[in-house]
Amino acid sequence: MNACSLQPATLQPCNLQPHQPLPRVGTAPDVGIFRAMFHLGGELGYNRAVSEQPVIELQQVSVVYPNGIQALQEADLRVNKGEFVFLVGPSGEGKSTILKLLYREVKATTGHVLVEGHDVGRLAAVGVARLRRRLGVVFQDFRLLDYKTVRENLTFAMQVLNTPPQIIRRRVNELLEQVGLLDRRHDFPQQLSGGEQQRLCIARALINHPPILLADEPTGNLDPETSVDIFRLLEAINLKGTTVIVATHDHAMVDRMLRRVVYMCGGRIVGDHPAGSYYQPDECPCDDAAPAARGASAEW
Amino acid sequence: MFSRLEFFITETFVSMRRHPAMAFAATICIAASLFVAGIVGLIVLNVNYATDTTLNRVRFNVYFQPEISRHEAWVAYKRILDMARVEEAQFIPKEKSPFWLKYQQNHPDTKNLLNRNPLPDSVVVKARDLEDIKALKLAMLEWGEVRSVRDTPDLIQKLINVSEAVKQSGIIIGIILIALSLVIIHHTIELTLYARRREMFIMGLVGATPATIALPFLLEGIIYGLFGAGVALGILVPLYRFAAQKIAANFGFALLTKGPEMTHGLIAVLIAGVALGFIGSVVSVCKYLRTPKSRLTNA
């Protein structure tokens, strides 16, 4: 696949080198450099006006799994509408748990999780379904419907919203073309490579134009070139007003995008770096301690 | 509304097509259960039919006093006819008595010797219910015109007992079979759904409501039930016809092959199939639709 095949129609052809060296300084790079990197057509991502209206709030949230592992400890987080937030930190430190709390795969042991003002922990089954329709989720392990074709995986996500068939057809074709899977639309997920499954998962997350996009290691299975394309896609989606939260290990990409970075360690939020600055992972206070959450792996 | 319905139907059939082994297992399981239930049902139906047919022929004879006139006998006969528990009654004048006719036929030489018929006039009575016979007999014996009442009480009681035993054992066997079928079908569908619990979980993650997830599975259950019933009937009906022919040819006993009982039986098997498929699906789907507790931590 062409490295740039994931780009949205509004973007120019990509010429970004995946490991392009960047200065590690605490200030934002020159606007010209950033624009040249991502060709975002004039608007600089991290300088965008972000609403002060919180769409996601974690209030003193702790999560203890039934096996006793504490995955999250008294986490406080507020994400405003239209923000792009990276959750970074070592494996098993609670990044995925935060995302799972938001789409209610796990429930907080203590504290409150609010999404668009709704207390997620108090939602009934139908309320959870409605919440999930407002969220696009890119899962670390894809979670595709194995017995459905590529096309049907996308169609199903629209059918549950009772979308008219004509709109489904148009939107599915459009998105399949964007993620470069139009030719594979009749294949089943098992017939796709890891990268293709990842792209399908991203396409499914985007299909209903969700106001909030959650991505758990969206580039974990991708080659560097495709990873760049994925982040460019997420960037473009964010520019349209979607709130994006990405849990990632891809420090190079986090460095390049200069967005808000929430650093997690030992199940705690230990750093919150605003957009336009570089975070310093070396400063993590947990480095010497054995975090309680280690082992609370993403397999949960 | 139509597109929603179309969505559910399409989901159901696509799912069935892509899980042929599961569809086969569920259908065969329901078919096997209904086949066994069908055999028991047919046995009960035929025993009942045979008992009812025999019992339907049961009559008893009321003999009048030889001294009373024909007119008095006729009035008594009318009284019998007016009794609420009597379904039908036939007056037999003594010269038309089958015993007398048979005697005359067998002894033509003694015809002149015994030309005076010693038998009284009689009435052949059919009660509305077999259990009414005893009460009728006691009532009629109190009349002055009646000399005696004759029937075959032991045979009647035996037939009544057999009929009741078959009905009761049929109900008990039927309940046991339905319970067993439900357990087997529940486990079969649960196993098929266990293999697909991940799908159900993912459907939930992309925003499908429990009803949206459940409906195609319930429709699948109903279709498996219908197919299962169809397979069971497809084997049972020709097999039964073949057996009926053989029994009629070899034992001269006609099995029940037509009539409303058979039609009702066929419809009952179809309904039972649908119900078994539906109930099995409901139980299993409800189980897997609940979020696994191990995933949730509660405050």
Kindly provide the ipTM of the predicted complex, given to two decimals.
0.75
Number of domains in chain B: 2
Check if A190 contacts B (Cβ < 8 Å).
no
Q: Which residues of A touch B299 (CB under 8 A)?
A: 107-110, 121
> What does each C-alpha distance from A126 to A106, A129, B36, B205 come to in angstroms?
16, 5, 41, 12
Domain assignment present for A64 = yes
Domain assignment present for B299 = no
E-assigned strand segments in B65-184? 86-92, 122-127, 146-150
Q: Which of residues 266-295 of B touch A (CB under 8 A)?
A: 289, 293-295
> What does each C-alpha distance from B252 to B159, B246, B258 come to in angstroms?
20, 9, 17
> What does each C-alpha distance from B145 to A70, B66, B82, B119 come to in angstroms?
100, 9, 16, 14
Q: What is the pLDDT of residue A177?
A: 92
CB B233 within 8 A of CB B38: yes
Inter-chain contact B209–A66, Cβ cutoff 8 Å?
no
When mean pLDDT is compared across A168-172, A281-285, B142-146, B274-278, the lowest value belongs to A281-285
Check if A103 contacts B (Cβ < 8 Å).
yes
Q: What is the pLDDT of residue A95?
A: 92
* CA–CA separation, B200 and B213 (whole Å): 6
* B240 & B116 share domain: no
Domain boundary, last residue among B151, B180, B206: B151
Of A64, A137, A159, nearest to B7 by CB-CB distance is A159
* B166 & B35 share domain: yes
Check if B93 contacts A (Cβ < 8 Å).
no
Residues in chain A predicted with pLDDT less than 50, given as ranges, are 1-44, 288-300
Check if A270 contacts B (Cβ < 8 Å).
no
When mean pLDDT is compared across A80-84, B105-109, B117-121, B260-264, the lowest value belongs to B105-109
Domain assignment present for B298 = no
Domain assignment present for A224 = no
Q: Which residues of B touch A105 (CB under 8 A)?
A: 205, 295
Q: What residues contact A237, with CB distance under 8 A and at least 6 apart? A: A8, A206, A213, A244
* B9 & B144 share domain: no
Domain assignment present for B296 = no
Which residue range forms the structural domain that includes residue B28? 2-54+158-291
Inter-chain contact B203–A160, Cβ cutoff 8 Å?
yes
> What does each C-alpha distance from A227 to A165, A181, A195, A218, B41 come to in angstroms?
32, 16, 9, 8, 66
Domain assignment present for A273 = yes
Q: Which residues of B touch A133 (CB under 8 A)?
A: 207
CATH of the domain at B139: 3.30.70.3040
Number of domains in chain A: 1
When mean pLDDT is compared across B141-145, B148-152, B251-255, the lowest value belongs to B251-255
Q: Is the per-residue pLDDT at B167 higher than 80?
A: no
Which residue range forms the structural domain that includes residue A48? 31-121+236-280
- Residue-wise pLDDT for B177-230, tens only, equals 778 777 877 777 777 777 778 888 898 998 988 888 888 888 988 998 999 999
* B41 & B69 share domain: no
- Residue-wise pLDDT for B26-56, tens only, equals 888 889 888 888 888 888 788 778 777 777 7
* B172 & B285 share domain: yes
Domain assignment present for B68 = yes
Exposure of B298 by Cβ count < 10 A (0-12 exposed, 13-18 middle, 19+ buried)? exposed
Of A107, A147, A156, nearest to B206 by CB-CB distance is A156
Check if A152 contacts B (Cβ < 8 Å).
yes
Residue of A nearest to B19 (CA): A147
Q: Which two tokens stand for residue A114?
A: 């609010």
CA atoms within 13 A on the CB side of B219: 18
Check if A109 contacts B (Cβ < 8 Å).
yes
Q: What is the pLDDT of residue A122?
A: 92
Q: Which of B13, B198, B206 to mutate to test the interface with A (most CBs of A within 10 A)?
A: B206
Domain boundary, last residue among B114, B134, B151: B151
* B240 & B104 share domain: no
* B192 & B50 share domain: yes
Residue of B nearest to A142 (CA): B202
* B170 & B190 share domain: yes
Residue of B nearest to A145 (CA): B199
Q: What is the pLDDT of residue A15?
A: 36
Inter-chain contact A121–B299, Cβ cutoff 8 Å?
yes
pLDDT band at B245 (very low <50, low <70, confident <90, very high): confident
Inter-chain contact A129–B298, Cβ cutoff 8 Å?
no
Domain assignment present for A192 = no
* B130 & B181 share domain: no
* B238 & B279 share domain: yes
Of A66, A156, A208, nearest to B297 by CB-CB distance is A66
Q: Mean pLDDT across chain B, nearest whole number?
A: 81
Residue of B nearest to A106 (CA): B296
Residue A126 to chain B, least CA–CA distance (Å):
6
* B108 & B185 share domain: no
Domain assignment present for A106 = yes
Residue with the larger pLDDT of the pair B104 and A121: A121
* B124 & B183 share domain: no
CATH of the domain at A86: 3.40.50.300
